[in-house]
Amino acid sequence: MDRLSSHYANALYELAVERGAVDEVFSQASLLRDALQESDVRRVLLHPHISRAEKSELLANSLKERIHDILSGFLRLAIDKNREAHIIPALSALISLIEKHKGIVTAKVISASTLDSAQSAALEEMLSGKLSKQVKLSVKIDSSMVAGPYIFVDGYYIDWTVKKRLRDMTVRMKEGCTA
């Protein structure tokens, strides 16, 4: 992330804390970032031949009082300063800052198949207990895996794949044969 996006994120975070609007800004920033990442919206937002006034009007009409004034002010400022490319990175950085503030970590899970809701809930609960933090999952599917997930969370790497278990079993068998 570039310095300007980080600067925007820090300023937005400080404003949200100062105004007691952290929870509201957090939920709205997540929704706003996801909406702005849609290819059509992003294309319009970054298009060099669409005027600042048209972009501001489009966002104002689309959002109509649905977002906190901290976020709408940021959008207007970024468009006025011709810094539309920094909006999504700044929102992502803001979300990360608030998650850190709230003690939330994201566990990146790579699995051979989709986790059902019970598996997701159990994994979140287990990781939350181990880390003493609220954990949310970000699951990606990798069909090249046989079974079992890789998990990256809060600086830890957990490998519960069948491939690793077989490799560990092979090592234990070799150690047993040489003893």
65-117 per-position pLDDT tens digit: 678 888 888 888 888 888 888 888 999 999 988 988 888 888 888 887 777 88
Q: Buried b / exposed e across 62-80, counting CB within 10 Å, b at 16+?
A: eeeeebbebbbebbeebbe
Q: Please check whether residue 86 is in contact with residue 4, taking contact to mean a CB–CB distance below 8 angstroms.
A: yes
Class in CATH terms, 103-178: alpha beta
Give 41-45's long-range contacts (Cβ < 8 A, gap of 24+).
42/88, 45/84, 45/87
Q: What is the DSSP letter of 50?
A: S
Query: The pTM is what?
Result: 0.69
Whether CATH 1.10.630.10 fits 3-100:
no
What does the pLDDT profile of the chain (179 residues) look like in tens digits? Answer: 588 888 888 888 898 888 888 888 888 888 888 888 887 777 877 777 887 888 777 777 777 667 888 888 888 888 888 888 888 899 999 998 898 888 888 888 888 777 788 888 887 888 888 887 788 887 888 777 777 777 877 777 877 777 777 777 788 788 776 55
Identify the bridge partners of residue 152 per DSSP, sorted by sequence position.
Answer: 108, 157
CA dihedral defined by 85, 19, 24, 125, rounded to 10 degrees? 100
Could you tell me the residue ranges of all domains in the chain?
3-100, 103-178
- Helix or strand run (H / E) with residue 152: strand 150-153
User: 20 in the Ramachandran plot: left (φ > 0), alpha (ψ -120 to 50) or beta?
Assistant: left
Q: Please check whether residue 115 is in contact with residue 109, taking contact to mean a CB–CB distance below 8 angstroms.
A: yes
